[in-house]
Structure 1
Amino acid sequence: MKILALVDGSEHSLKALDYLIQLLNQFGSSQNTSKNNTKNNPEIIILNVLPTFHTPSGIKTEIKSIKDNKSISLDEYTNKVKETIKTEWIKNLEELKTKYEKTGFRTRTKILKGSHSSRYIAYSIIKFVDDQRVDLIVLGSVGLGGISKNRALGSVTRNLAEISTCPVLIVP
């Protein structure tokens, strides 16, 4: 069984991942399972979708560095921000992988390129789900952009629930 856990750093996404582990342990799918018996030992794929920063064409503004007072273009600055975020997420996902592998589950990580559209993000995730033959998607009810006090689903969560090709477990 392959289970996709979506993580964006929000409290809800991390809570959903913890809930998944508790649920799997309750049903006896943990370290008691032989590592050679992959049929009964679920594989958890921890996925992050990187945010997108759109720089409108025609903007020629330069930004000065506080450190060395050198100017760089907005495009260069945006690219540096994207690379920094990607590097941080590689590190964050590796830490999560290490943490959950200790519970006895096969774990791997993946990063997808984001978009400005929650619908496009959902379609990108579903394409990954189909390509990897994922059996279950687990995610929080809202992510970093959601408003949890209104008890509404976040836009990516709602879109995934609407278009998913496999079951979706939404953890409040």
Structure 2
Amino acid sequence: MKILTLVDGSEHSIKALDYAVNLLSQQNSDSRRSGDKVQSNHQLIILNILQPLKLSDEVVQHFKSINPERKSSLKKYLDDINSAMKDTWMKKLSDLKSKYERAGISISTKIVKGTHSSRFVAYSIVKFAEDAKVDMITVGSVGTGGTHEKKSLGSVVRNVAEISTRPVLIVP
């Protein structure tokens, strides 16, 4: 079984990751108990959709109007921030991979560049799942986009559940 788990740093996404690891660990145990000599082919992919920092055209124009050279320095500054965010997520995913590999599961990590549109992020996740031929997607019920005490599903999760051709397990 191959499971894709979306991790965005939220408590709910870590719960979804824990659930996926436990599910695959259980399947490994079941295979060993049934006497299967075949090496487990269970795999977990931990996915992060990196949402780069972007400024509106109005803000960029404001900087440009103050000093025309500022536009290029602003672009470099944003590039540096986005690069630092990617480096931070690469480290976080590496740490998660190390932590959960102890469960005896094959784990890979991936960062995909996204946008701030929940629909586009959902399409990116679903396309990745289809390309990777995963059997299931696990996601936390609400991500870092904000939680509200009456909110049962985040917009990305809702969109993934609506458009996915793969089963989606939503972990509260």
Q: Do Structure 1 and Structure 2 share a fold, with TM-score over 0.5?
A: yes
1:18 alignment partner AA: D
Tell me, yes or no, if structure 1 residue 121 matches structure 2 residue 121.
yes
State the match for 2:155 in structure 1: 155
State the match for 1:165 in structure 2: 165
Cα distance change, pair 99–151 in 1 and its aligned pair in 2 (3 A)? same
- Give 1:121 deviation, angstroms: 0.7
- Give 1:56 deviation, angstroms: 2.7
Mapped to 2, the partners of 1:119 and 1:46 lie a distance apart of: 20
* Aligned length, in residue pairs: 162
Q: Which runs of 5+ in 2 are unaligned?
A: 65-69
1:37 alignment partner AA: V
Q: Which runs of 5+ in 1 are unaligned?
A: 63-70
Mapped to 2, the partners of 1:11 and 1:81 lie a distance apart of: 24
Mapped to 1, the partners of 2:25 and 2:134 lie a distance apart of: 19
Post-superposition CA distance 1:56-84 (Å, at most 9, x none): 3343528xxxxxxxx77322221111000
- Give 1:30 deviation, angstroms: 8.0
* Alignment map for 1:3-152 (pairs within 5 Å): 3-29=3-29, 32=32, 37=38, 40-57=40-57, 58-61=60-63, 73-152=73-152
Mapped to 1, the partners of 2:31 and 2:96 lie a distance apart of: 17
Greater percentage in helix:
2
Two-structure CA RMSD over aligned residues (Å): 2.4
- Give 1:24 deviation, angstroms: 2.9
Mapped to 1, the partners of 2:158 and 2:149 lie a distance apart of: 16
- Give 1:10 deviation, angstroms: 0.6
User: SS of the residue aligned with 2:61?
Assistant: coil
Cα distance change, pair 30–77 in 1 and its aligned pair in 2 (3 A)? farther
Mapped to 1, the partners of 2:109 and 2:162 lie a distance apart of: 24
Mapped to 1, the partners of 2:19 and 2:148 lie a distance apart of: 18
Q: TM-score, normalised by structure 1?
A: 0.84
